[in-house]
Structure formats: structure tokens, C-alpha cells
């Protein structure tokens, strides 16, 4: 069956949710991807190799071995330049040509390296500001996520309670009466008799 399939391995970015959450911005790992296609058909099976079942490395060992032999791209961690929204395509191509592949690498460029890359000084400053702003916002974003999860739990509990009450009403069971909170009456005030002046004798 493998002979009738077109198989392609390559390196590409895959978002790392843990590192994204910590950094407050999207952070990616560069990992092997695989695409499996039946010749003549439009539909394909594609995804990170480690997430695919069955494992294409075992299913297509010859193609995987050839990929490992030809591939010289080391696994990178960070935000690929093509994922940075404010970078122009020309800037991305210039940086890639100079060996800069991630936003983190751009932010970490030394002063001596900047002179070799056109416009790199302004891009480095912008990259550093972008990373710092994301790090500062990360705690608030984490708090917002936790509050959103709490609200989902509360909404779920409310829905369950509503379903229980609806089921009871359908079966003809009495609905729980509304409880009215009333203050317990206190003791009646004592009436002190009015003292009258002694009558004149």
C-alpha cells in the first residue's frame, strides 16, 4: 500500500502551548511534519510526525531515512519570523538570508552583527519591545483564562440544575418552594406606667 502513496517529510513550526502561555505570545517548536497523499486525490493526511497515528516514521522508513539524511535544519524554539505580523516579507527574506530565523534571534542580535543586515537596528528594537510587552501582559492573560474557565464551570452547573428542576417538573414532583427570609418577631416592648403626682390632701 505504501508504494501507492506520496509521502513528504519536512521541518515546520508547531505551536508550543506551554511556552506560549508563559511568554504571553505564540511560541513555536520547529519539528518534523509529514504529508501523505493518494495520487489523483485532493484529500491529504498531514500533521506533525509526533502527533500522527500510526507513526509515519515506522510506516515509511525509507522516506524518513532519506529526510534525516537530507535535512540540516536544527529544531528551533521560538516564534518564526513568518509568524510575526509586523514584519514585512522583504525583511523576513533579508533576515533569513542572514541566518536569523526567529523573533528571539532577531532580538538577540549583537551590535556588531547589525551592521551586516540592512535595517536590522530598528527591527531588533521593535522585536525586543514586542517580547517585553508580551511578557508583561502574560500574567493578566493567564488570569483572564482562569476566570473564563471558572465561568464555564459555573454555567455548566447552572445548566445541570436547570435540567434537574425541569425533569422533576415533568414527573410532577413539587418544585422546591421559594424561601422567604423573615425576621423573627422580638419581644413586645414593656409599657411603663406613667407616675402621677400625689393628689393634694
pLDDT at 11 over 60: yes
- Residue located via cell numbers 509529514: 34
Q: 11 vs 8, 22, 72, CA distance in Å?
A: 10, 24, 10
Q: Which tens digit of pLDDT belongs to each residue from 149-194?
A: 777 788 888 888 888 888 777 776 555 555 454 555 656 655 555 5
| pTM of structure | 0.44
Cα 142–chain centre separation: 9
Dist CA 96 CA 77 (whole Å): 15
Amino acid at each position: 500500500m505504501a508504494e501507492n502513496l506520496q509521502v513528504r517529510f519536512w521541518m515546520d513550526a508547531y505551536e508550543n502551548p506551554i511556552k506560549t502561555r508563559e511568554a504571553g505570545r505564540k511560541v513555536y517548536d520547529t519539528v518534523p511534519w509529514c504529508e501523505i497523499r493518494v495520487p489523483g486525490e485532493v484529500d491529504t493526511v498531514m500533521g506533525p510526525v509526533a502527533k500522527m497515528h500510526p507513526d509515519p516514521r515506522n510506516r515509511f522508513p525509507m522516506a524518513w531515512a532519506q529526510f534525516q539524511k537530507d535535512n540540516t535544519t536544527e529544531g528551533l524554539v521560538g516564534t518564526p519570523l513568518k509568524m510575526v505580523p509586523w514584519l514585512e516579507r522583504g525583511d523576513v527574506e533579508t533576515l533569513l538570508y542572514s541566518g536569523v530565523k526567529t523573533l528571539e534571534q532577531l532580538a538577540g542580535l549583537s551590535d556588531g552583527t547589525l551592521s551586516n543586515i540592512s535595517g536590522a537596528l530598528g527591527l531588533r528594537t521593535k522585536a525586543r519591545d514586542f517580547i517585553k510587552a508580551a511578557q508583561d501582559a502574560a500574567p493578566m492573560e493567564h488570569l483572564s483564562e482562569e476566570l473564563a474557565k471558572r465561568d464555564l464551570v459555573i454555567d455548566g452547573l447552572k445548566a445541570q440544575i436547570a435540567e434537574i428542576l425541569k425533569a422533576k417538573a415533568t414527573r410532577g414532583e413539587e418544585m422546591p418552594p421559594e424561601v422567604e427570609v423573615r425576621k423573627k418577631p422580638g419581644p413586645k416592648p414593656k409599657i411603663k406606667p406613667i407616675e402621677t403626682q400625689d393628689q393634694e390632701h
